[in-house]
Amino acid sequence: MNDELRELRNHLLTIAERHGIEVEDMTNTPGTHMYVRVFNKIFMNPNETTVTYEFGLAHELAHALYGDPNGEQYYPFSLLFKKAEETAANKNAVRLISDFVYRDTPIEFRNYVNFMESLGLPSYFEDMAREAVMQA
């Protein structure tokens, strides 16, 4: 893991800790990342390779922080935009990360394409990434 992703991961884990959200790596369990509201806990599968661990963590953290408290009780990780909850989690994850990554970077030096590549985001995140990176 490069230093930038390590710094981002530590930042996201600090946010989780500040909000009393436990994060547990599930190394011997098949499946993907998941937030379980009743336990206020995020389960991460470090073997998930769809996107970076850090984006997965930010996505699940977004469910915990910004999700409907009366909504779903658990959220398995999904990059798709078929459900409003997943769309919101994806947008909030991109925002959480871009606000941290670009906190000290002038707009003219920001590159949303590099941002997407560093997180392994698919091309259909382009509009969302551009907006978040340019407004961070």
Scored b (16 or more CB within 10 A) or e, 42-68 reads bbbbeeeeebbbbbbbbbbbbbbbebe
pLDDT digits (tens, 9 = 90+) for 35-79: 999 999 999 999 887 789 999 999 999 999 998 777 776 666 766
According to the model, what pLDDT value does residue 74 have? 66
Percent pLDDT > 70 in the chain is 92
Please name the helix (run of DSSP H) or strand (run of DSSP E) that holds residue 54, with its range, or none: helix 53-66
Q: Supply 28's token pair.
A: 């011997």
Mean residue pLDDT across the chain: 90
Closest alpha carbon to 57 in 66, 48, 44, 68: 44
CATH of domain 3-135: 3.30.2010
pLDDT digits (tens, 9 = 90+) for 90-116: 999 999 999 999 999 999 999 999 999
DSSP 25: E
According to the model, what pLDDT value does residue 75 have? 63
pLDDT (mean) for 115-135: 94
Q: What residue ranges do the domains of the chain occupy?
A: 3-135
The residue length of the chain stands at: 136
59 contacts 12 by C-beta, under 8 angstroms: no
CA R_g for the chain: 14
